[in-house]
Copies of this chain bind each other. A is one copy, B any other.
Amino acid sequence: MPEPASDPAFERHDHARCAAAALEAAARTCDAQGLRLTEIRARVLGILCESHAAMGAYDVLDRLREDGRRAQPPVAYRALDFLVAHGFAHRIERLNAYVACGHPGDDHAPAFMICRGCRRVAECAAPAAAAALAPQAEAMGFRIERTVVEAEGVCPDCRAEATDGENGAGGGSEDGADA
């Protein structure tokens, strides 16, 4: 393996490109598999892609309403369910919230690093974490279908902010939303 496939969520990066890539990948995959990436589904994925912070279904719903739609909760949940079912987004159980998938297309066993300061979530490939459970599952006759691996902690930006004390408005983490 080359490097551990780190995620850019906590680094400065060309976010417009990273968001566009996610949407494009979803469009291509849907085309290839005969799935329908409808306007609402694409819009919801776009909303998730606006930042690397986890969004609750009702946050997504509010953003849909800002578009002028009169959407009700099932609209958001159905779109999110579709995106999660086909690997374009992930549900973060710890937060009851959602993030766009950082590695769409790959068949991955994702693990997540969740910052409790800014809610940003980095997605890692951590097959070893899930694999570590296999022997014990085997031993007790349990068939694993899905494994949730979520680490909660503090991202570099929020660590810096906490350490700073008060350095004025310039340097800290990106206000709890984007990256």
Q: Residues on A close to B: CB < 8 A? A: 4, 6-7, 10-11, 93-94, 96, 111, 113, 115-116, 122, 124, 126, 128-130, 132-133, 135-137, 139-156, 159
Given known pairs A129-B133, A132-B132, A133-B126, the reply for A146 and B152 (CB within 8 Å) is yes
Number of chain copies forming the complex:
2
The 4 lowest CB-CB distance pairs between A and B, nearest first, are A141-B156, A128-B132, A129-B132, A144-B153
With CB as the reference atom, state the residue of chain B lying closest to A128. Answer: B132
Q: Are B140 and A113 in contact (CB under 8 A)?
A: yes
What's the Cα separation between A156 and B148 when bound, in Å?
20
Q: Are B139 and A144 in contact (CB under 8 A)?
A: no
What's the Cα separation between A118 and B145 when bound, in Å?
15
Interface centre among A116, A140, A153 (most CB of B within 10 A): A140
Q: Are B139 and A4 in contact (CB under 8 A)?
A: yes
What's the Cα separation between A64 and B135 when bound, in Å?
38
Q: Given B122, B147, B152, which contacts A145 in the complex, CB threshold below 8 Å?
A: B152
Residues of B within 8 A of A140 (CB): 6-7, 10-11, 113, 122, 155-156
Residues of B within 8 A of A136 (CB): 4, 6, 111, 113, 124, 126
What's the Cα separation between A129 and B150 when bound, in Å?
11
Q: Given B135, B144, B149, which contacts A147 in the complex, CB threshold below 8 Å?
A: B149
Q: Given B116, B135, B149, which contacts A149 in the complex, CB threshold below 8 Å?
A: B149
What's the Cα separation between A144 and B112 when bound, in Å?
11
- Apart from A113-B144, A115-B142, 17 more pairs, CB < 8 Å: A4-B136, A10-B142, A93-B150, A94-B148, A111-B136, A113-B137, A113-B142, A137-B151, A137-B153, A140-B155, A142-B155, A142-B156, A144-B152, A145-B153, A146-B152, A146-B153, A148-B149
